[in-house]
Amino acid sequence: MKACEYQQITPGAPAQAPAPRRPRRKWEVFPGRNRFFCDGRLMLARQSGVFLLTLGLILSTTCLFFVFDCPFLTQHLTFAIPIIGGILFFFVMCSLLRTSFSDPGILPRATPCEAADLEKQINDTGSSMYRPPPRTKEVMINGQVVKLKYCFTCKMFRPPRALHCSVCDNCVERFDHHCPWVGNCVGKRNYRFFYTFLLSLSFLTAFVFACVITHLILRSQESGFLNTLKETPASVLELVVCFFSVWSILGLSGFHTYLVASNLTTNEDIKGSWSTKRNSEDLGNPYSHKSIITNCCAVLCGPLPPSLIDRRGIVEPEPLLPLTTKSESVSLGTKSDTSLDAACQDFAISCTA
Protein backbone atom coordinates (compact mmCIF):
# COMPACT_ATOMS: atom_id res chain seq x y z
CA MET A 1 0.00 0.00 0.00
CA LYS A 2 1.43 3.34 -1.04
CA ALA A 3 2.12 5.96 1.58
CA CYS A 4 0.12 9.14 1.25
CA GLU A 5 2.13 12.24 0.45
CA TYR A 6 1.21 15.51 2.14
CA GLN A 7 2.33 19.01 1.28
CA GLN A 8 2.19 21.75 3.86
CA ILE A 9 0.51 24.98 2.79
CA THR A 10 2.06 28.04 4.35
CA PRO A 11 -0.49 30.57 5.63
CA GLY A 12 -0.81 33.69 3.56
CA ALA A 13 0.57 32.07 0.42
CA PRO A 14 -1.29 33.03 -2.77
CA ALA A 15 -3.59 30.34 -4.17
CA GLN A 16 -2.74 28.86 -7.52
CA ALA A 17 -4.72 30.47 -10.32
CA PRO A 18 -6.84 28.08 -12.41
CA ALA A 19 -5.59 27.26 -15.87
CA PRO A 20 -6.96 29.70 -18.46
CA ARG A 21 -9.80 28.24 -20.50
CA ARG A 22 -9.71 28.33 -24.24
CA PRO A 23 -11.97 31.10 -25.52
CA ARG A 24 -15.03 29.74 -27.25
CA ARG A 25 -16.23 31.05 -30.57
CA LYS A 26 -19.84 31.88 -31.32
CA TRP A 27 -20.33 29.02 -33.76
CA GLU A 28 -19.69 26.58 -30.89
CA VAL A 29 -22.72 27.90 -28.98
CA PHE A 30 -24.88 28.70 -32.02
CA PRO A 31 -28.54 27.96 -31.12
CA GLY A 32 -29.68 26.88 -34.60
CA ARG A 33 -29.62 23.38 -36.08
CA ASN A 34 -26.48 23.78 -38.17
CA ARG A 35 -23.10 22.10 -38.44
CA PHE A 36 -19.91 24.12 -38.79
CA PHE A 37 -16.59 23.23 -40.39
CA CYS A 38 -13.15 24.83 -40.65
CA ASP A 39 -13.49 26.71 -37.36
CA GLY A 40 -16.86 28.22 -38.31
CA ARG A 41 -15.93 29.34 -41.81
CA LEU A 42 -18.30 26.84 -43.44
CA MET A 43 -21.82 25.93 -42.30
CA LEU A 44 -24.38 23.34 -43.35
CA ALA A 45 -27.74 22.06 -42.16
CA ARG A 46 -27.68 19.05 -39.88
CA GLN A 47 -29.84 17.00 -42.24
CA SER A 48 -27.36 16.78 -45.12
CA GLY A 49 -28.01 13.26 -46.43
CA VAL A 50 -29.83 14.47 -49.55
CA PHE A 51 -27.03 16.95 -50.24
CA LEU A 52 -24.52 14.08 -50.27
CA LEU A 53 -26.81 12.26 -52.72
CA THR A 54 -26.85 15.32 -54.99
CA LEU A 55 -23.07 15.60 -54.82
CA GLY A 56 -22.64 11.89 -55.54
CA LEU A 57 -24.98 11.92 -58.55
CA ILE A 58 -23.26 14.91 -60.14
CA LEU A 59 -19.74 13.59 -59.55
CA SER A 60 -20.46 10.00 -60.63
CA THR A 61 -22.39 10.94 -63.78
CA THR A 62 -19.81 13.51 -64.87
CA CYS A 63 -16.88 11.15 -64.20
CA LEU A 64 -18.54 8.39 -66.24
CA PHE A 65 -19.09 10.87 -69.05
CA PHE A 66 -15.44 11.98 -69.13
CA VAL A 67 -14.10 8.42 -68.89
CA PHE A 68 -16.38 6.47 -71.26
CA ASP A 69 -17.93 9.02 -73.66
CA CYS A 70 -15.49 11.88 -74.11
CA PRO A 71 -12.62 9.82 -75.67
CA PHE A 72 -14.90 8.42 -78.39
CA LEU A 73 -16.57 11.78 -79.11
CA THR A 74 -13.22 13.58 -79.16
CA GLN A 75 -11.84 11.11 -81.67
CA HIS A 76 -14.88 11.13 -83.97
CA LEU A 77 -16.24 14.67 -83.55
CA THR A 78 -14.31 17.52 -81.88
CA PHE A 79 -11.99 18.38 -79.00
CA ALA A 80 -14.44 21.02 -77.80
CA ILE A 81 -16.75 18.47 -76.14
CA PRO A 82 -14.60 17.77 -73.04
CA ILE A 83 -13.70 21.47 -72.79
CA ILE A 84 -17.36 22.53 -72.73
CA GLY A 85 -18.22 19.76 -70.29
CA GLY A 86 -15.36 20.76 -67.99
CA ILE A 87 -16.43 24.42 -67.93
CA LEU A 88 -20.05 23.51 -67.14
CA PHE A 89 -18.96 21.08 -64.44
CA PHE A 90 -16.75 23.77 -62.87
CA PHE A 91 -19.66 26.23 -62.68
CA VAL A 92 -21.98 23.57 -61.25
CA MET A 93 -19.59 22.57 -58.45
CA CYS A 94 -18.61 26.14 -57.53
CA SER A 95 -22.19 27.36 -57.31
CA LEU A 96 -23.35 24.24 -55.44
CA LEU A 97 -20.63 24.47 -52.79
CA ARG A 98 -21.12 28.21 -52.41
CA THR A 99 -24.86 27.70 -51.90
CA SER A 100 -24.48 24.84 -49.44
CA PHE A 101 -21.65 26.09 -47.22
CA SER A 102 -22.51 29.79 -46.92
CA ASP A 103 -24.73 31.76 -44.58
CA PRO A 104 -28.14 32.15 -46.31
CA GLY A 105 -28.91 35.33 -44.37
CA ILE A 106 -29.56 34.13 -40.82
CA LEU A 107 -30.81 36.81 -38.44
CA PRO A 108 -29.25 36.75 -34.94
CA ARG A 109 -31.60 36.03 -32.08
CA ALA A 110 -32.43 38.72 -29.56
CA THR A 111 -30.37 38.86 -26.40
CA PRO A 112 -32.19 38.41 -23.04
CA CYS A 113 -32.10 42.17 -22.46
CA GLU A 114 -33.46 42.92 -25.94
CA ALA A 115 -36.17 40.26 -25.57
CA ALA A 116 -37.24 41.62 -22.17
CA ASP A 117 -37.37 45.18 -23.52
CA LEU A 118 -39.42 44.06 -26.53
CA GLU A 119 -41.80 42.11 -24.29
CA LYS A 120 -42.28 45.22 -22.18
CA GLN A 121 -43.09 47.29 -25.27
CA ILE A 122 -45.58 44.66 -26.45
CA ASN A 123 -47.27 44.47 -23.06
CA ASP A 124 -47.54 48.26 -22.89
CA THR A 125 -49.52 48.28 -26.14
CA GLY A 126 -52.16 45.88 -24.75
CA SER A 127 -55.61 47.42 -24.34
CA SER A 128 -56.59 45.36 -21.28
CA MET A 129 -55.42 42.56 -19.02
CA TYR A 130 -57.87 40.06 -20.47
CA ARG A 131 -56.90 40.52 -24.11
CA PRO A 132 -53.34 39.55 -25.12
CA PRO A 133 -51.36 42.30 -26.82
CA PRO A 134 -50.89 42.07 -30.61
CA ARG A 135 -47.87 40.21 -31.94
CA THR A 136 -47.73 41.99 -35.28
CA LYS A 137 -46.56 45.34 -36.57
CA GLU A 138 -47.46 47.19 -39.74
CA VAL A 139 -45.02 49.06 -41.96
CA MET A 140 -45.44 50.87 -45.26
CA ILE A 141 -43.41 49.62 -48.24
CA ASN A 142 -43.95 51.47 -51.53
CA GLY A 143 -47.39 52.60 -50.44
CA GLN A 144 -48.53 49.14 -49.33
CA VAL A 145 -49.08 47.90 -45.77
CA VAL A 146 -46.87 44.91 -44.84
CA LYS A 147 -47.27 43.05 -41.55
CA LEU A 148 -44.25 42.08 -39.46
CA LYS A 149 -44.82 38.92 -37.42
CA TYR A 150 -43.27 38.15 -34.06
CA CYS A 151 -41.00 35.09 -33.83
CA PHE A 152 -41.41 33.33 -30.47
CA THR A 153 -38.16 31.38 -30.98
CA CYS A 154 -35.87 34.28 -31.91
CA LYS A 155 -37.78 36.78 -29.69
CA MET A 156 -38.04 39.52 -32.30
CA PHE A 157 -40.23 40.94 -35.03
CA ARG A 158 -39.10 39.46 -38.32
CA PRO A 159 -38.15 41.93 -41.07
CA PRO A 160 -40.18 41.96 -44.29
CA ARG A 161 -39.85 38.74 -46.36
CA ALA A 162 -38.05 36.96 -43.50
CA LEU A 163 -39.32 33.62 -42.19
CA HIS A 164 -38.34 31.11 -39.52
CA CYS A 165 -37.09 27.83 -41.03
CA SER A 166 -38.39 24.84 -39.07
CA VAL A 167 -35.54 22.61 -40.32
CA CYS A 168 -32.60 24.86 -39.41
CA ASP A 169 -34.44 26.65 -36.55
CA ASN A 170 -33.29 30.07 -37.76
CA CYS A 171 -34.95 33.21 -39.05
CA VAL A 172 -33.64 33.80 -42.58
CA GLU A 173 -33.75 37.15 -44.36
CA ARG A 174 -35.66 37.08 -47.68
CA PHE A 175 -36.42 33.40 -47.09
CA ASP A 176 -37.07 31.51 -50.32
CA HIS A 177 -37.23 27.88 -49.16
CA HIS A 178 -35.21 25.18 -47.45
CA CYS A 179 -33.66 23.01 -50.16
CA PRO A 180 -32.58 19.53 -48.98
CA TRP A 181 -30.79 18.96 -52.32
CA VAL A 182 -28.23 21.63 -51.41
CA GLY A 183 -28.41 20.98 -47.67
CA ASN A 184 -29.12 24.58 -46.70
CA CYS A 185 -31.72 27.31 -46.63
CA VAL A 186 -31.97 29.55 -49.68
CA GLY A 187 -32.18 33.17 -48.68
CA LYS A 188 -30.88 36.64 -49.34
CA ARG A 189 -27.16 35.84 -49.23
CA ASN A 190 -27.05 32.64 -51.34
CA TYR A 191 -30.03 32.86 -53.71
CA ARG A 192 -27.91 34.10 -56.62
CA PHE A 193 -25.58 31.11 -56.24
CA PHE A 194 -28.57 28.75 -56.04
CA TYR A 195 -29.97 30.21 -59.28
CA THR A 196 -26.56 29.90 -60.96
CA PHE A 197 -26.42 26.28 -59.79
CA LEU A 198 -29.80 25.52 -61.37
CA LEU A 199 -28.90 27.15 -64.69
CA SER A 200 -25.47 25.54 -64.99
CA LEU A 201 -26.84 22.14 -63.93
CA SER A 202 -29.56 22.41 -66.57
CA PHE A 203 -26.99 23.09 -69.28
CA LEU A 204 -24.68 20.33 -68.02
CA THR A 205 -27.46 17.71 -67.84
CA ALA A 206 -28.78 18.58 -71.30
CA PHE A 207 -25.24 18.59 -72.71
CA VAL A 208 -24.35 15.18 -71.25
CA PHE A 209 -27.70 13.76 -72.35
CA ALA A 210 -27.19 14.93 -75.95
CA CYS A 211 -23.58 13.70 -76.05
CA VAL A 212 -24.48 10.25 -74.70
CA ILE A 213 -27.23 9.86 -77.32
CA THR A 214 -24.76 10.90 -80.03
CA HIS A 215 -22.21 8.41 -78.71
CA LEU A 216 -24.71 5.54 -78.76
CA ILE A 217 -25.96 6.41 -82.26
CA LEU A 218 -22.44 6.55 -83.73
CA ARG A 219 -21.46 3.26 -82.10
CA SER A 220 -24.68 1.52 -83.19
CA GLN A 221 -23.88 2.31 -86.83
CA GLU A 222 -20.75 0.15 -86.54
CA SER A 223 -21.78 -2.76 -84.29
CA GLY A 224 -25.57 -2.60 -84.01
CA PHE A 225 -27.83 -1.13 -81.35
CA LEU A 226 -28.05 -4.15 -79.01
CA ASN A 227 -24.31 -4.79 -79.11
CA THR A 228 -23.68 -1.12 -78.37
CA LEU A 229 -25.86 -1.30 -75.25
CA LYS A 230 -23.94 -4.37 -74.07
CA GLU A 231 -20.54 -2.78 -74.75
CA THR A 232 -21.31 0.56 -73.05
CA PRO A 233 -23.27 -0.04 -69.82
CA ALA A 234 -21.85 3.17 -68.31
CA SER A 235 -23.31 5.25 -71.14
CA VAL A 236 -26.69 3.57 -70.65
CA LEU A 237 -26.58 4.43 -66.95
CA GLU A 238 -25.78 8.06 -67.76
CA LEU A 239 -28.65 8.13 -70.25
CA VAL A 240 -31.14 6.88 -67.66
CA VAL A 241 -29.97 9.32 -64.97
CA CYS A 242 -30.02 12.32 -67.31
CA PHE A 243 -33.40 11.37 -68.82
CA PHE A 244 -35.18 11.26 -65.46
CA SER A 245 -33.49 14.37 -64.05
CA VAL A 246 -33.29 16.81 -66.96
CA TRP A 247 -37.03 17.54 -67.05
CA SER A 248 -37.32 18.42 -63.36
CA ILE A 249 -34.14 20.50 -63.45
CA LEU A 250 -35.28 22.43 -66.53
CA GLY A 251 -38.71 23.00 -64.98
CA LEU A 252 -37.19 24.24 -61.73
CA SER A 253 -34.86 26.57 -63.63
CA GLY A 254 -37.79 28.02 -65.55
CA PHE A 255 -39.80 28.51 -62.36
CA HIS A 256 -36.98 30.38 -60.62
CA THR A 257 -36.38 32.46 -63.75
CA TYR A 258 -40.00 33.60 -63.44
CA LEU A 259 -39.43 34.38 -59.75
CA VAL A 260 -36.30 36.41 -60.49
CA ALA A 261 -38.05 38.36 -63.24
CA SER A 262 -40.95 39.13 -60.86
CA ASN A 263 -38.79 39.71 -57.75
CA LEU A 264 -40.73 37.06 -55.83
CA THR A 265 -39.71 34.24 -53.51
CA THR A 266 -40.92 30.65 -53.60
CA ASN A 267 -42.66 31.16 -50.26
CA GLU A 268 -44.51 34.25 -51.51
CA ASP A 269 -45.52 32.58 -54.78
CA ILE A 270 -46.85 29.42 -53.08
CA LYS A 271 -48.80 31.38 -50.48
CA GLY A 272 -50.02 33.89 -53.04
CA SER A 273 -49.01 36.79 -50.82
CA TRP A 274 -49.30 39.42 -53.55
CA SER A 275 -51.91 37.82 -55.82
CA THR A 276 -55.00 39.85 -56.74
CA LYS A 277 -57.28 36.98 -55.69
CA ARG A 278 -56.09 37.24 -52.08
CA ASN A 279 -55.85 41.01 -51.83
CA SER A 280 -58.90 43.11 -52.54
CA GLU A 281 -56.81 46.04 -53.72
CA ASP A 282 -54.88 45.47 -56.92
CA LEU A 283 -51.55 46.76 -55.62
CA GLY A 284 -49.34 43.84 -56.64
CA ASN A 285 -45.90 43.02 -55.33
CA PRO A 286 -44.48 46.00 -53.38
CA TYR A 287 -40.91 44.76 -53.94
CA SER A 288 -41.16 44.64 -57.74
CA HIS A 289 -39.47 47.38 -59.74
CA LYS A 290 -42.03 47.02 -62.58
CA SER A 291 -39.25 46.00 -64.97
CA ILE A 292 -37.87 42.53 -65.72
CA ILE A 293 -34.32 43.78 -66.24
CA THR A 294 -34.37 45.86 -63.05
CA ASN A 295 -35.77 42.95 -61.04
CA CYS A 296 -33.08 40.60 -62.36
CA CYS A 297 -30.34 43.10 -61.53
CA ALA A 298 -31.77 43.70 -58.05
CA VAL A 299 -31.92 39.98 -57.23
CA LEU A 300 -28.77 38.70 -58.94
CA CYS A 301 -26.39 41.62 -59.40
CA GLY A 302 -26.75 43.68 -56.24
CA PRO A 303 -24.03 43.90 -53.59
CA LEU A 304 -23.78 40.83 -51.39
CA PRO A 305 -24.90 41.76 -47.85
CA PRO A 306 -22.55 40.84 -45.00
CA SER A 307 -23.27 38.02 -42.59
CA LEU A 308 -24.99 39.11 -39.37
CA ILE A 309 -24.26 36.17 -37.07
CA ASP A 310 -20.44 36.63 -36.63
CA ARG A 311 -19.73 32.89 -36.52
CA ARG A 312 -16.04 33.23 -35.64
CA GLY A 313 -16.48 35.89 -32.97
CA ILE A 314 -15.33 35.26 -29.40
CA VAL A 315 -18.01 34.54 -26.78
CA GLU A 316 -17.73 37.14 -24.04
CA PRO A 317 -17.69 35.66 -20.50
CA GLU A 318 -20.67 36.42 -18.32
CA PRO A 319 -19.96 38.97 -15.55
CA LEU A 320 -19.70 37.49 -12.06
CA LEU A 321 -22.31 38.62 -9.54
CA PRO A 322 -20.96 40.12 -6.27
CA LEU A 323 -21.30 37.93 -3.17
CA THR A 324 -23.70 39.08 -0.47
CA THR A 325 -23.19 38.62 3.24
CA LYS A 326 -25.51 36.62 5.43
CA SER A 327 -27.07 39.69 7.02
CA GLU A 328 -27.78 41.23 3.62
CA SER A 329 -29.37 38.02 2.39
CA VAL A 330 -31.64 37.83 5.45
CA SER A 331 -32.69 41.46 5.12
CA LEU A 332 -33.45 41.03 1.43
CA GLY A 333 -35.32 37.77 1.92
CA THR A 334 -38.81 39.22 2.06
CA LYS A 335 -38.12 41.62 -0.82
CA SER A 336 -36.80 38.83 -3.04
CA ASP A 337 -39.91 36.74 -2.37
CA THR A 338 -42.24 39.52 -3.45
CA SER A 339 -40.13 40.37 -6.51
CA LEU A 340 -40.01 36.68 -7.44
CA ASP A 341 -43.80 36.41 -7.26
CA ALA A 342 -44.16 39.49 -9.44
CA ALA A 343 -41.63 38.12 -11.95
CA CYS A 344 -43.42 34.78 -12.11
CA GLN A 345 -46.73 36.52 -12.67
CA ASP A 346 -45.26 38.61 -15.50
CA PHE A 347 -43.71 35.51 -17.07
CA ALA A 348 -47.04 33.63 -16.93
CA ILE A 349 -48.82 36.54 -18.59
CA SER A 350 -46.17 36.73 -21.33
CA CYS A 351 -46.42 32.98 -21.97
CA THR A 352 -50.19 33.10 -22.37
CA ALA A 353 -49.97 36.14 -24.61
In the annotation, is 179 catalytic? yes
DSSP string covering 10-68, please? PTTPPPPPPPPPPPPBGGGG--SSEEEETTTTEEEES--HHHHHHHHHHHHHHHHIIII
How far is residue 77 CA from its own chain's centroid?
43
Sign of the C-alpha dihedral, residues 272, 275, 281, 286?
Answer: positive
DSSP for residue 69: I
DSSP string covering 201-213, please? HHHHHHHHHHHHH
The answer to whether 302 and 16 are in contact (CB under 8 A) is: no
Under 8 Å CB-to-CB from 145, ≥6 apart: which residues?
Answer: 138, 139
Which of these is catalytic: 70, 151, 165, 179? 179
DSSP string covering 242-280, please? HHHHHHHHHHHHHHHHHHHHHT--HHHHHHTTT-TTT-S
Sign of the C-alpha dihedral, residues 296, 297, 298, 301?
Answer: positive
Q: Which residues are catalytic?
A: 179
